[in-house]
Chains A and B, each alone.
Chain A
Amino acid sequence: MSGIRFLILASGLTAFWQLVVMITDVPPYILPGPLPVVRALILHWPTLQNHLMTTLAEILAGLVLGTVLGSCCALTMILLPLMRRWLLPILVVSQAIPVFALAPILVLWFGYGMASKVAMAVLIIFFPVTSSFYYGMRRTRPELLELARIMGGRPLSVLRWIVIPSALPALGSGLGVAAAVAPIGAVVGEWVGSSSGLGYYMLHANARMQIDIMFAALAVLSVVSLGLYFAVDTMVARLIFWEKKENEDESVA
């Protein structure tokens, strides 16, 4: 059902795009129509594919690394209250610095290769993952903790069986945000300085007035972002399997 809706939406937007091009008669170096873009996509697919692989690797590496680091940071703050007092202000201040402004510095430090783009993606992802997981764990129902206390539970077991699962829905929404912003990190990093990747290819095409190629790269990037988002969404749904089951019961009732 949602697949059909998605198809209708996509073709409607494409038709609108074509309509705008036809009515306003803009020159193709400002806004190419859908057909030239598709042609560029097919003609330059091998090149696009190479750049896509670079960007995809950057995004995935950033996503995995950012999630691991963010989760570790959140767990540290939960387990060590002393660390919490020092880490929390650092975390908040770090968000006050616009991460994009750091991109040139990251390129300076980590070079033109993938490392600087991964670092960029990690920096962007780190905060939503850490804060969603941390506050998710902090919001564990106090009655459950009281029950665990009366049962004489060991702190690490309580964390494993009660606190972390309680935080998974919150972490899931944090991961959704992370999946949505990770491509931004990679592309901005590529814009600042790189020799491959979709962001680099877009700038390259722009400088040569190959606007159709630029749009083709943009289309590929959008598909990647969408695919990533749905992949993470599916993974999260599997992670918090019990919520799905409860909803199913509601729909039956």
Chain B
Amino acid sequence: MISPAIIFEDITLGFSGKKLFAGFSMEVPAEHCTCLLGPSGCGKSTMLGLVSCNCRLKFSGRLRFLPEISHAASISWMAQDDLLLPWLTVIDNVLLGARLRGEVRPTLKDKAQQLLAEAGLEGKGGLLPGQLSGGMRQRVALLRTLMEERPVILMDEPFSALDALSRVRLQNLAARLTKGKTVLMVTHDPMEALRLADRIIVLHGHPVRIATVLDLHGATPRDPADPEVQQIYPQLLGQLMAEAES
């Protein structure tokens, strides 16, 4: 399946009289990872909601995929909370989408097992989520997201609740397994953005505007010692600090 670019065109949207977006436009490149950075409440998560057609969001303007493909079957979504079902085993959680659509097949199960092995979770398929550590649970959530095989992946602060080591490990896994897909990720962590993103979009203001667009070129996941990362990090951090204080 082709991974499309996501185009926000002249989006206007308000909550209870306050304008969150006013004529907002943005382009998320196809087949690459784009990270959204910016202060809390500026509308980053709302953008993911718009892409996933959250019906509670009433907006004007256009949001389209390029090439134009149906939104409904082309998105998978991962949140900060792993949203694992505690009553299903790990493997059944990974297969949740197929199960809810009534399309579980033996080949899918094999694929899920293979993904578990790739994520270092072999032999854990029969456990319940309650028996796993936080890092493992989030890994399972990532696999569930990938199992959908959707061309567009939306991630809302997927790793922010993890300890530093688990986070780095999960970032590496995510970078490896989402190659070639259009990934739109919201994060608070500039280092995470620098490690994973091909494009970083810094947002600010009410209504929200694009402050900076940074295109990065090295292969992901980048090492924190990578010269590109080293060069941009202080500048990016400084900008975010300034935004937070203003």
Binding site for B on A (CB under 8 A): 141, 143-144, 146-148, 150-154, 157-158, 161-162, 165, 168, 240-243, 245-246, 249
Contacts and interface: CB of A to CB of B under 8 A. Distances in A.
A152 B77 CA distance: 12
Looking at chain B, what size class is its interface with the partner chain?
20 to 34
B19 interface: no
Interface in B139-162: 148
10 smallest CB-CB distances across A and B, nearest first, come from A153-B100, A246-B130, A151-B97, A242-B86, A165-B87, A157-B100, A150-B77, A242-B87, A245-B130, A151-B100
Nearest to B52: A150
B22 interface: no
Nearest to B75: A150
A151 B83 contact: no
B102 A157 contact: yes
Contacts of B97: 151-153
B52 A242 contact: no
Contact residues of B: prevailing secondary structure: loop
A168 B54 CA distance: 28
Interface string B49-79: 0001010000000000000000011011101
A151 B131 contact: no
A246 B130 CA distance: 5
27 contacts: A143-B79, A144-B85, A146-B54, A147-B77, A147-B79, A148-B100, A150-B77, A151-B100, A152-B100, A153-B97, A153-B100, A153-B101, A157-B100, A157-B101, A161-B96, A161-B100, A162-B85, A162-B100, A241-B87, A242-B86, A242-B130, A245-B128, A245-B130, A245-B131, A246-B86, A249-B130, A249-B131
Give chain A's interface secondary structure class: helix
Interface string B70-111: 001101110101010111100000001101111000000000
